[in-house]
Structure 1
Amino acid sequence: MFETWDEKWFLLKQLVKRDFTTKYKESFLGIIWSFLNPLLIMIIFTVIFSVLFRREIRNFPVYFLTARIIYQFFVDATGGAMRSIRANRSILTKIFVPRYMFAISSICYEFINFLISLIILFGVMIVTGEHFHLMMFASIIPFIFLIIMIFGVGLILAVLNTYFSDIGHFYSIFALILMYASALFYPIEIVPANVQAIFTLNPLYIAISCFRDAIMYHVFPDILSLMYLAVFSVMLFGVGFLLFRIHEKKLVLQL
Structure 2
Amino acid sequence: MSKIKEIYAYRQMIVSLVRKDLRGRYKGSILGFLWTFINPLLQLMVYTMVFSVILRAGIDKYYLFLFVALIPWIFFSASVTSGSSCIIAQKDLVKKIYFPREVLPISHVTTCFVNMLLSFIVIFFVIAISGVGINISSVLYLPIIMIVEYILALGMAMIFSALTVYLRDLEYILGIIIMAWQFLTPIMYSIDIVPENIMPIFMANPMTPIIIAYRDILYYKQIPQVSTLLHAFILGIVFLIIGNIIFSKLQKHFAEEL
Assess same fold via TM > 0.5: yes
Q: 1:54 Cα shift?
A: 5.4
Q: Is the 8 A contact 2:141 2:217 kept in 1?
A: yes
**Residues 100-119 of structure 1 aligned to structure 2 (within 5 Å):** 100-119=102-121
Q: State the superposition RMSD in angstroms.
A: 1.9
Q: Is the 8 A contact 1:78 1:153 kept in 2?
A: yes
CA distance in 2, matches of 1:24, 1:161: 25
TM-score (norm: length of structure 1):
0.92
2:24 match? 22
1:231 match? 234
* Pair 1:159 & 2:162 matched: yes
Q: 1:216 Cα shift?
A: 1.3
Q: Is the 8 A contact 1:181 1:199 kept in 2?
A: yes
**Residues 197-208 of structure 1 aligned to structure 2 (within 5 Å):** 197-208=200-211
Aligned with 1:48: secondary structure? helix
Pairs aligned (count): 253
* Pair 1:78 & 2:80 matched: yes
Q: 1:51 Cα shift?
A: 2.4
Cα distance change of structure 1 residues 223 and 6 upon mapping to structure 2, 3 Å threshold: closer
Q: 1:6 Cα shift?
A: 7.6
CA deviations 1:128-167 (Å, max 9, x no partner) are 1121111122222222221111111111111111111111
Q: 1:42 Cα shift?
A: 0.9
**Residues 103-182 of structure 1 aligned to structure 2 (within 5 Å):** 103-134=105-136, 135-182=138-185
Q: Is the 8 A contact 1:159 1:247 kept in 2?
A: yes
CA distance in 2, matches of 1:252, 1:87: 13
- Unmatched segments (≥5 aa) in structure 2: none
- Unmatched segments (≥5 aa) in structure 1: none
% of aligned pairs identical?
Answer: 27
Deviates more, 1:191-200 or 1:52-61: 52-61
* Pair 1:192 & 2:220 matched: no
Cα distance change of structure 1 residues 53 and 143 upon mapping to structure 2, 3 Å threshold: farther
Cα distance change of structure 1 residues 232 and 167 upon mapping to structure 2, 3 Å threshold: same
1:61 match? 63
**Could you tell me which amino acid in structure 2 is paired with residue 129 of structure 1?**
G
Q: Is the 8 A contact 2:165 2:257 kept in 1?
A: yes
Q: Is the 8 A contact 1:63 1:212 kept in 2?
A: yes
2:212 match? 209
CA distance in 1, matches of 2:175, 2:215: 25
Q: Is the 8 A contact 2:113 2:150 kept in 1?
A: no
**Could you tell me which amino acid in structure 1 is paired with residue 134 of structure 2?**
F
Runs of 4+ in 1 over 4 A off after TM superposition: 3-7, 52-55
Deviates more, 1:215-224 or 1:166-175: 215-224
CA distance in 2, matches of 1:55, 1:160: 39
TM-score (norm: length of structure 2):
0.91
Cα distance change of structure 1 residues 180 and 5 upon mapping to structure 2, 3 Å threshold: closer
